[in-house]
Amino acid sequence: MQPFPPPPAPVRPIRGLALTVVVLLGLCALLELLVLVVSIQRVSLVSGVIDDPESANVETLTANDTWYGFAGLTQLAVYVLTGVMFVVWLYRARCNAEAITPIPHRRSRGLVVFSWVIPIVNLWYPLQIVDDVWATSSPRNLPPDLGSEALNRAPRSPLVRFWWLLWLVATFGSMLFQRAAARDDSLEAIVATARVDIWFAAPYVVSAVLAVLVVMNITTAQERWRLLAPQAY
């Protein structure tokens, strides 16, 4: 006598986590705009001091220093919190995607969390993970009857690819340029560092907007499936 097959895994609610991530991404974008404004003022003020030291306004420079430090620290704290919540959401989305389309993903569940902090592989493993979750959250994205090979031939979302490219540029590009710019404590180095903040503001903001679209697209697909498949419970 054949044993009964195990019941399908439940597709768990994910909208609440998604909304939390979306709000945090929006806050990241707003803080990046604050950094942009403060950095533009910083370049103007410090460049003026370089050109004419006698024109220095100590109170204005001190206020700019305070805002620059506040914006940077606040941005870092929110960025870390957003990253943590994004990974929590992605892990839930991965579990749901496996329940919706029970085929092997290219990367293990553990790498959903740890691939972001492993050097080298963090340049493309997270992209593959999000790509696979996107594809398996809506089975119509996959070619029929390919089993474990389906993900290798599934069409990839340009939105996910564009988000990932901009996120890499904003994150790793800004870090490299910041290290090169902050070579010493000179006024010229201060100006160079602020200019890096200005250059990478647009990629940061656009990547945050695209991340919102990625999160909401996957969430909408999974919530639609959850509501249409109550038998999974």
The pLDDT tens digits of the residues spanning 99-116 come to: 988 888 989 999 999 999
Can you give the pLDDT at residue 14?
Answer: 95
- Is the entire prediction scored with pTM above 0.75? yes
What percentage of the chain reaches a pLDDT higher than 90?
63
Can you give the pLDDT at residue 123?
Answer: 94
What is the sign, positive or negative, of the torsion defined by CA atoms of 209, 214, 215, 221?
positive
The pLDDT tens digits of the residues spanning 160-194 come to: 999 999 999 999 988 888 888 777 778 888 899 99
Buried b or exposed e, range 33-69, using 16+ CB within 10 angstroms: ebbbebbebbbebbbebeeeeeeeeeeeeeebeebbe
Reported as a pLDDT band with limits 50, 70 and 90, residue 138 is confident
**Could you give the angle at the alpha carbon of 125 between the alpha carbons of 96 and 201, nearest 5°?**
100
